[in-house]
Structure 1
Amino acid sequence: MLRKLNHPQIPKLYDMFDVRGIPHLVMEYILKGIRSKRLFSRKKQTFGEKEAFFLLADVLAIVQHIHAHEIVHRDLRIPNLVFRDGVVYVIDFGLARFFMNKMDRF
């Protein structure tokens, strides 16, 4: 599923292999990414309307891309966002599924 999603804000899946029945994924490493807990902590009081607008626009564009490939994330929440250099990345596709039919979109 991740191989189908070629988007700069979704970590790439390079390879998968099995070691003694345990699956291993080789994925893109997001160097120096900031987990959402630090972004929305009480210490940071300056998260304004403009930043919120661009953050939400980025997340919605990523979701639109995912849905265009007939995939639903199913676990999209603040902890599954990583921030690096002002760019948001959507991570954790463990619960993601393909749409079963056209009615599953709604």
Structure 2
Amino acid sequence: MRSIRKLYQFFVDIPNETGSTLNDRYEVLRVLGTGSYGIVYLCKDLKTLENKIIKQLRPSKRNKRRELALFENEIKVLRSLNHLHVPSVYETFSSNGNYFYVMSFIEGDNLEDLIFEKKKTFKEKESLLILTELLEIVNELHFNSIYHQDLRIPNIIMQNNHPYLIDFGLSKQVLNESNQQKMQELKQQDYYDLGEILLFMLYTTYSSEKKKALPWTEELSLEKETVFLLKRLLGIKDPYLNSCEILADLQDALKAM
């Protein structure tokens, strides 16, 4: 059954060709990637001559209520935010039964490519400073009852050494504040993901001379304040309840530098 679905997607989810025009305005420069439910293009806005990002719901998903709801939710979430380090939505449109939305283009490399392709290293202090900026973005999301739920290194764009957060396809907005337990679980998932992002950056300066893999607490030489921060982010010690607690420990770790 799964192979049939994959075959169907192969023939149906064909990206728009480079050089084609979407909505009589956006020239497709290249396909940036294909996710579980979307195709992402880098386009030139023929009206403003600016580069824009266009996300298309995969044709194989357009008749599925759940996938369409995820697509519409992402647009709704982005429109509810007003943050310099989060993409802005300009417009939505449909063509031949397909759904698209246009958002701002953030020029830069994602953390995954920087780490694994360009072999960039991040020292402890630099990693903590980047985490501080990411925490500010995440705190703004949580203030608006939005939980990203997909904080990963491919979804962090670095521009002039400052992080930008993209891909809100799995984000959740909880407007019913009576469900405090659910909100706390979503919040702590975002905090856990921040801990993993920090670990990825810290490991860029690590070179193993041992054949046997060890826990990060043994492999990495970190200040004790950074270790304490990571253990709480990852739930090894008492998990954080809010961003103020994280920021206080972040500041302690930076002072230890």
- TM-score normalized by structure 1? 0.88
In structure 2, the residue matched to 1:79 is: 154
In structure 2, the residue matched to 1:40 is: 115
Greater Rg by CA: 2
Q: Which amino acid aligns with 1:2?
A: L
Structure 2 Cα separation of the partners of residues 89 and 30 of structure 1: 8
Structure number with the higher helix fraction is: 2
In structure 2, the residue matched to 1:49 is: 124
In structure 2, the residue matched to 1:2 is: 78
Structure 2 Cα separation of the partners of residues 76 and 23 of structure 1: 25
Q: Which amino acid aligns with 1:39?
A: L
Aligned with residue 99 of structure 2, among 16, 20, 23: 23
The runs of at least 4 aligned residues of structure 1 exceeding 2 Å deviation read 41-44
- TM-superposed CA distance for 1:89, in Å, is 0.6
Unaligned runs of 5+ in 2: 1-76, 185-257
SS in 2 for 1:55: helix
Q: Which amino acid aligns with 1:30?
A: I
In structure 1, the residue matched to 2:46 is: none
- TM-superposed CA distance for 1:100, in Å, is 4.8
Is residue 101 of structure 1 aligned with residue 179 of structure 2?
no
Structure number with the higher strand fraction is: 1
Unaligned runs of 5+ in 1: none
Is residue 14 of structure 1 aligned with residue 103 of structure 2?
no
Kindly, what percent of the aligned residue pairs are identical?
A: 39
SS in 2 for 1:3: helix
The count of residues paired between Structure 1 and Structure 2 equals 104
Structure 1 Cα separation of the partners of residues 160 and 150 of structure 2: 24
RMSD: 1.5
